[in-house]
Homo-oligomer: A and B are copies of this chain.
Amino acid sequence: MSPAPRAGELRWDIIELLFFAYRDFVGDADHELEAFGFGRAHHRVMHFVHRYPGLKVADLLDVLRITKQSLGRVLKQLLDEGYIVQKTGNNDRRQRLLYATAKGEALVGKLAGLQTDRINRAMQDIDTAGQEVLRQFLRAMIDRDDPDKVLETIFGSGKKPRE
């Protein structure tokens, strides 16, 4: 009845640190995106298309976990403005494989640069072993049931999509 759930056991500190850390982490990109008239949705699409060239629309929907209607608007803008191109699939001509253009790569790189600066700053006093603990933690925070194509790459072979 009186729940008093597990008063001493709750990880309030980590929960809060994750909130603030992620807020400021995405804030770096948000600021820059304004200048382009884009939002977070555009960033996420650009990021994964750049990192996993030739991604199918269906794969992207899986990764982002949004509906095709929602993706449609954002993707259309990125196509119209020349940040992404589509190529018809070789085996299956219904598929539209997605690739970042040079313009798209430049944008994604700029945003990743800002976020990398923050990460490097936060890691500067952490040795190599500590950095590996960090990766281990972040990977273990991610659901592994029903992984999408990107997570399969991240977890499956350790093979990296780009250098």
Residues of A within 8 A of B (CB): 1-25, 27, 44, 47, 51, 65, 106, 109-110, 112-113, 115-116, 118-123, 125-126, 128, 130-143, 150-151, 154, 160, 162-163
Cα separation A126 to B139 with both chains bound (whole Å): 13
The CB with the most chain B CB atoms within 10 A, among A9, A51, A110, is that of A9
- Beyond A24-B143, A122-B137, A123-B137, 5 additional contacts (C-beta under 8 Å) are A3-B110, A4-B128, A12-B162, A15-B47, A23-B65
Contact (Cβ within 8 A) B7 A128: no
Given known contacts A17-B135, A151-B20, is B113 in contact with A6 (CB within 8 Å)?
A: yes
Contact (Cβ within 8 A) A18 B138: yes
Contact (Cβ within 8 A) A135 B16: no
Cα separation A137 to B151 with both chains bound (whole Å): 23
Contact (Cβ within 8 A) B131 A2: yes
Given known contacts A15-B119, A18-B22, is B137 in contact with A134 (CB within 8 Å)?
A: yes
Cα separation A14 to B141 with both chains bound (whole Å): 13
A40 to chain B, nearest CB (A): 11
Residues in B neighbouring A19, C-beta threshold 8 A: 44, 47
